[in-house]
Structure 1
Amino acid sequence: MRRPSIGLQGARTAVASGIVQFEYVGLRYGMGAEILRDLNFSLREGGFYFLTGPSGAGKTSLLKLLYLAQSPSRGAIRLFGENVSSLRRADLPALRRKIGVVFQDFRLAGHLSAFDNVALPLRIAGVSESEIASSVGEMLDWAGLADRASARPATLSGGEQQRVAIARAVIGRPKLLVADEPTGNVDPDMAARLLGLFEALNRIGTTVVIATHDIQLIARMPAAEIMRLDKGRLADPTGMFRHPPKRPGL
């Protein structure tokens, strides 16, 4: 497949600065018990992270904090050098445009074609239609969906819908990409292909955070770092980012 001209074939940016900082962050819904407790960590720019843990550990809640769908109950979060709690509501859309999100349930607009779903973030940002046509066409080609551009989500397979969702998430060249169980609805071969799309984006410097239960997926990225959540806390905080074991036989 021909890769798009947004630079996915370029060298990874060698930057070690923190793009995300959590300081004693806690989260509760309403008056209930805290879902997340005392989270302290920093994610470096250009890093690749897997977020793991048992069901109910709080992975989706942590991702919501990362892509600004939820505010913490306590503590401080800094994204791209900005203290999120001190920002005005009017400042949040610009910050969100730096974040790409791949949802577990895709969240594609059913009345729009694959092309128009991918184009949506660019149209919201006011990009010209001529530039949209070129950029989206190349992105769909990169995702292996050039021949499905006019198809609506209901006619696409689960793997095709997920690739449309990924293309939509990365079309705006986000600085941070967050994905919630992106391979949960596809077979192992498609999971490997989707991981390749994330790797390509990471190579140009985008920070990638993937929440997953898929041990085989993690094993395919021996250089990635792992964050383990357990009962709302990061397990083993003194060594929370650990490299996964290699797959047997490697």
Structure 2
Amino acid sequence: MANIVQFEDVGLRYPNSDGETLSGLHFTLVSGGFYFLTGASGAGKTSLLKLLYLAQRPTTGTIRLFGEDAGTLARVRLPGFRRRIGVVFQDFRLVPHLSVFDNIALPLRLSGVPEGDIDAPVREMLEWVGLSEKGQSTPPTLSGGEQQRVAIARAVIGRPEILVADEPTGNVDPDMAARLLHLFESLNRLGTTVVVATHDFHLLGRIQNAHMMRLEAGRLMDPTGALRNPPARPSA
């Protein structure tokens, strides 16, 4: 399968920070793969996801998305690239004055989908996430778990080529977590590359052939705990 993401010796240092948040990241994601990103709080998971959905540029190294160097993309091309990536944020980022229906429909409208082709997929998403009766509600009237489900529906409605989800099951009960994971799996079977950052180790065994990526202190480890692509030792 084709590579859809390539990180080549990528590092990230935020301004005024004492050290690198991420360093020496070297990995490839294949088109249609399913990946769990794990690690303790502060390990750098959210920062890595920000690099994936182009909210942050690396301090060092190269990131290639869809076969192109993301670091050299002209600003005018960034919106088009970002529309190919669905994102589920930890803080939801819903538009508070829009209805649930209109929040979910937003990616379709931004992509130019005719209004007559929007109703059916939005209602299907509302049913999928268990919010069929909440279409005309606004986000401030919803619980945290309901807002999370709206954010997930909005992220997946456009069938993005890559779905990036930051703790997507953190505010829902176990039954709904399983249902949402099934939604991600269904999207993955249609060809979407899925990356889920999670603390919930109960999820890790639920997706057949899923890959696990583990961060420790900003570096990527393999399942045995060894560094992936560790720095070369200085010669004697």
Same fold (TM over 0.5): yes
Give 1:1-250 correspondences, 5 Å limit.
16-32=1-17, 33-236=19-222
Deviation at 1:28, TM superposition (A): 0.4
SS of the residue 2:204 aligns to: helix
Cα 1:87–1:205 shift into 2, 3 Å? same
Per-residue CA distance 1:183-208 (angstroms, 9 max, x = gap): 11122122111111111111101000
Q: For 1:237 and 1:18, how far apart are their aligned partners in 2?
A: 21
- The answer on whether the counterparts of 1:50 and 1:210 sit within 8 Å (CA) in structure 2 is yes
Q: Give the secondary-structure state (helix, strand or coil) at the position aligned to 1:208.
A: strand
Is the 1:49–1:208 Cα contact (8 Å) retained in structure 2?
A: yes
Q: After the TM superposition, which parts of structure 1 deviate over 6 Å for at least 4 consecutive aligned residues?
A: 237-240
DSSP 3-state at the match of 1:220: coil
Q: 1:137 offset after TM fit, Å?
A: 2.1
CA distance in 2, matches of 1:172, 1:221: 22
> Does 147-156 or 77-86 show the bigger shift?
147-156
TM-score (norm 1): 0.85
Instruction: List runs of 5+ in structure 1 lacking aligned partners.
Output: 1-15, 241-250
Q: Which amino acid aligns with 1:135?
A: P
The number of equivalent residue pairs is 225
Q: Distance in 1 between matches of 2:209 and 2:112?
A: 37
The secondary structure found in structure 1 opposite 2:165 is: strand
Other structure's SS at 1:51 match: strand
User: Residues 159 and 190 of structure 1 are in contact (CA less than 8 Å); yes or no, is this contact kept in structure 2?
Assistant: no
Question: Any unmatched runs of 5+ in structure 2?
Answer: 227-236
Distance 2:78 2:140 in 1: 32
SS in structure 2 of the partner of residue 62 of structure 1 = helix
How far residue 237 of structure 1 moved from its aligned partner, in angstroms, is 8.6
Map of 2:233 onto structure 1: none
TM-score, with structure 2 as normaliser: 0.90
